Amino acid sequence: MLNQIGNYSLYIALLSSIIIIIQSPILLNRNNINISGRIFSLISIQSLMIIISFIALIIGFIISDFSNETVYNNSHTSKPFFYKISGTWGNHEGSLLLWLLVLSIFLLIFTITSKNLSNKYRILTLFFQEIIILGFLLFILFTSNPFMSLFPIPNEGSGLNPILQDPALAIHPPILYLGYVGTSIIFSSSLAALISGSVNKSWAKHIKNWVLVSWIFLSIGILLGSIWAYYELGWGGFWFWDPVENVSLMPWFCLTALFHTILILEKREMFHSWAVILSITTFSLSMSGTFLVRSGILNSIHTFANDPSRGVFILCFLFILITLSIFIYFFYQNKIKNNFTKTHIVSKETAVLVNNLFMMFFLSVVLIGTVYPIFLEVVNNDKISVGPPFYHKLIVPFLIPFLIFMAIGPNLNWIKDKTNKINLQQLLFFILSIIISFIFLKRVGISYLFSLPLFIASFFLFFITIKDFSVKKTNLSQKISHFGFSLFILSVLVNGVLAKEYSSNMKVGDERKFLNKTIKFESLKVNESKNYQSLEANFKISDKKNSINLKPEVRVYDQPQTITSEADIKSTLYSDNFLVFNILKNDGFYNVRYQIKPFMIWIWISIILISFGGILSIVKKNG
């Protein structure tokens, strides 16, 4: 019954989408008539049908309806209730349905909140958005249907991958999708504004909220994914330049550049073409990420390993959208009213432009590092992996001037700033940054080529962003986000320099010395849970002053039968004590890995501050 409800609802939504796409060009010729009640009703019906379809899938997971193939492949009767619900989108078919749900709801919100804008602009945005929705509906119904039936009905399901049974990862996909799908509205809106000749200050003011919302959700989604990777995978890191991680980072770079460009367009009526190109690029990167993750061609711990033929559909759909957008841009670019306002080389506009160029460079490095191994394998069947050294060597040298520009740029004036007056305060901060960086690196014994200038630039940005809280000409949301970014860069650098690791094979009762600490393997015990059995170890980490107990686990899940290692982490404001252990074949011995990770909590706090700045900007504007 649920399968039929879900299927029929999607087909009604498909029919609504086709009717809307046919009706939209007709309404374009009626300049004095706003979006008709019929079109709005169709959009509402479409959203309602997709909501019903998604609810039907959730209910199927909750009641363990194994007549549904998606439920059978990704659930089990012994799975906790929370993970039964999150299992709805913890798979290829369900996640696509969630993506479609957000697409339709965002379109409904856009239709309601854009009533004061021109009729032509609204209808064109609706038209392009419906093309995207239609593409996803066809993709779901004919290649990735979450309502395929099984007969005879199995008594039990296959279960959900244990590493996905985690609170952070359960809410990570929906939040990330809100960021991804928000870029579709930006894409449709930019094409509509281009055709209607309304790429201007009013459009920038309207679309700014959508850019901010997408950027905030994408930032929080990346944060949750990083936290999950840190404590769940047992690797002790928050970023590995994994292809799927890169897929979410690339549109974030583009959204960041787009937001600053939109601000300039709103304030100074400049960078019209930049705004349109970045809008198209951001959505294209989001769609490209969807293709890479779901085509099965990426080798990642958290990719969807599906039949590559599914990826062909997305690839063709992506090609059509990008080709369409490029054609529209070149055909209608003469409608962009570029105001060639004179600006001095030393101005806030120039600083934003330079920082945007840096963002595009970072984006290009990540894109090449992610895509190049795929092309190489296709061309000559050679398999290579691009690791952190590639990104570090290319990004770090350019990160130094980027941080300097970021420190100076927000404090410059619009149009033109003075160059003959030395800012004594900034000079003092720069000298202080040199002294602190030199002393710090000397004490820790680091002497890499770019270490000193990178730390100098980071401390300089950190001091400037703190000082900016006393300056009235910049808004509070900008101050918080920029301070959060400076704290993030500094925390990552300190973490990378001061992190320590010890690895050894130990059995119960063994002691090991590491730095000034003693690691003692005190005991083991077996615990029973609803859907897994765990082997819990007790380690005592002590020095001359104090001691802590860490209790990592090795879990053996029933459905599917999987062994996972669960790290135990004790966090303080200064550092994390991270310990994980694994079972070895040698009787009685376990591999133990203990890490000291300085400033980890500040990495998480800094990203929260970055996102909070964006939230505050929206609240302040709409308050």
In this prediction, residue 143 carries a pLDDT of 86
Q: What is the DSSP letter of 413?
A: P
DSSP track, 349-391? HHHHHHHHHHHHHHHHHHHHHHHHHHHHHHHH-------HHHH
How open is the CA angle 434-466-456, to the nearest 5 degrees?
Answer: 20
Least confident of 25-39, 94-108, 279-293, 505-519: 25-39
Taking phi over 0 as left and psi of -120 to 50 as alpha, with beta for the rest, 51 belongs to alpha
Nearest to 286 by CA among 370, 180, 167: 180
Alpha carbons 263 and 614: distance in angstroms, whole number: 13
Q: Label residue 8 by pLDDT band (50, 70, 90).
A: very high
Q: What percent of the chain has pLDDT over 70?
A: 91
Alpha carbons 38 and 111: distance in angstroms, whole number: 13
Mean pLDDT, residues 487-505 taken together: 93
CB 365 within 8 A of CB 388: no
pTM for this structure? 0.92
Residue 35 vs residue 183, higher pLDDT: 183
CB 315 within 8 A of CB 295: yes
CB 107 within 8 A of CB 133: yes
Q: Label residue 429 by pLDDT band (50, 70, 90).
A: very high
Alpha carbons 177 and 94: distance in angstroms, whole number: 12
How open is the CA angle 414-417-421, to the nearest 5 degrees?
Answer: 155
Mean pLDDT, residues 282-305 taken together: 69
Least confident of 82-96, 226-240, 451-465: 226-240
In this prediction, residue 305 carries a pLDDT of 45
Q: Which two tokens stand for residue 511?
A: 């002691």
Peptide bond into 308 cis (omega under 30): no
Alpha carbons 384 and 299: distance in angstroms, whole number: 11
In this prediction, residue 418 carries a pLDDT of 60
For the cut 50, the answer to whether the pLDDT of residue 517 exceeds it is yes
Mean pLDDT, residues 189-202 taken together: 91
Mean pLDDT, residues 316-325 taken together: 90
Q: What percent of the chain has pLDDT over 90?
A: 52
CB 214 within 8 A of CB 255: yes
Long-range contacts of 352-358 (CB under 8 A, 24+ apart): 352/260, 352/261, 352/263, 352/264, 352/409, 353/271, 354/405, 354/409, 355/257, 355/260, 355/402, 355/405, 355/406, 355/409, 356/257, 356/260, 356/261, 356/274, 358/398, 358/401, 358/402, 358/405
Nearest to 529 by CA among 570, 581, 566, 583: 566
Distances 509 to 348, 519, 524, 527, 587 between C-alpha atoms, Å: 63, 10, 10, 20, 14
In this prediction, residue 342 carries a pLDDT of 60
Alpha carbons 464 and 100: distance in angstroms, whole number: 43
Q: In which residue are the tokens 């040698």 written?
A: 586
Residues 6+ apart with CB under 8 A from 209: 618, 621, 622
In this prediction, residue 556 carries a pLDDT of 87
In this prediction, residue 193 carries a pLDDT of 93
Mean pLDDT, residues 238-250 taken together: 87
- Other Cβ atoms closer than 10 A to 378: 10
Over the Cα atoms of the chain, what is R_g?
26
Q: In which residue are the tokens 């300056």 written?
A: 471
